[in-house]
Structure 1
């Protein structure tokens, strides 16, 4: 599954920890993301079947993610398909998560 931000969910550490239903992997991801994103992430928050799923989603994705909200509102499969691709909101997100920018560039080239 390709997330709204362009990331391949099958390569996401949070998604993989959820699919494995591994508390050990959730702890590893929580520690890593706490440092990487300079915010506290708890192991119990690492539960995600992808931002496009009807199932469980990472708390940030479900409740806070402006990228997800925007794509749902515009009915786009991902940001690279948006007429406003690379908007200010997306640029700020890419600053925090550079792999998102790389993934979206690959998607944009395939359109």
Structure 2
């Protein structure tokens, strides 16, 4: 994977948009679509199975969550249709202004403009690690870990 590929996957702050459950081209969306297709009209069978196994009583809720995953529509933080719940992120505009791809590449890093509390700690940890080993190595390292 090249640096440019990594830039497409990682947000300006360093979070991996490509592995987010809301990402329109992500694996979670693709797996959700595939599972929905594979299950087909399983709702009928789940209803019958719920008589002997009440775990299937919640099938409709499971189906609704699965449909939500399969309809993910976020373009990622570098796109035009961002639905990231971190709505107070100023990293995107800052990086565009500073003409860098990641916060750690900025001469002013770390600054006080980005995040607070636990989000700030995570942001610093991610960017410090990218600064230490490089964005490509960081991508390969973090992609082996669960996203959530």
The TM-score bracket by the shorter chain reads 0.5 to 0.7
**Could you say if the C-alpha distance between residues 106 and 59 of structure 1 is closer, same or farther in structure 2, counting changes exceeding 3 Å?**
closer
Residue of structure 1 equivalent to 2:93: 69
Rg: which structure is higher? 2
Separation in 2, partners of 1:79, 1:101: 9
Where in structure 1 are there 5+ consecutive unaligned residues? Answer: 29-45
Aligned residue pairs, count:
90
Instruction: Indicate conservation of the 8 Å contact 1:94/1:101, yes or no.
Output: no
Q: How does 1:67-106 map to 2 (within 5 A)?
A: 67-90=91-114, 93-97=115-119, 98-106=121-129
Paired residue secondary structure (2:127): helix
**Could you say if the C-alpha distance between residues 69 and 84 of structure 1 is closer, same or farther in structure 2, counting changes exceeding 3 Å?**
same
Residue of structure 2 equivalent to 1:2: 10
Residue of structure 2 equivalent to 1:48: 74
Where in structure 2 are there 5+ consecutive unaligned residues? Answer: 1-8, 33-63, 135-148
Residue of structure 2 equivalent to 1:35: none
Separation in 1, partners of 2:111, 2:67: 32
Instruction: Indicate conservation of the 8 Å contact 1:7/1:104, yes or no.
Output: no
Paired residue secondary structure (2:23): helix
Residue of structure 2 equivalent to 1:36: none
Residue of structure 2 equivalent to 1:57: 82
Shift of 1:64: 5.3
Instruction: Indicate conservation of the 8 Å contact 1:14/1:26, yes or no.
Output: no
- What is the alpha-carbon root mean square deviation over aligned residues? 3.3
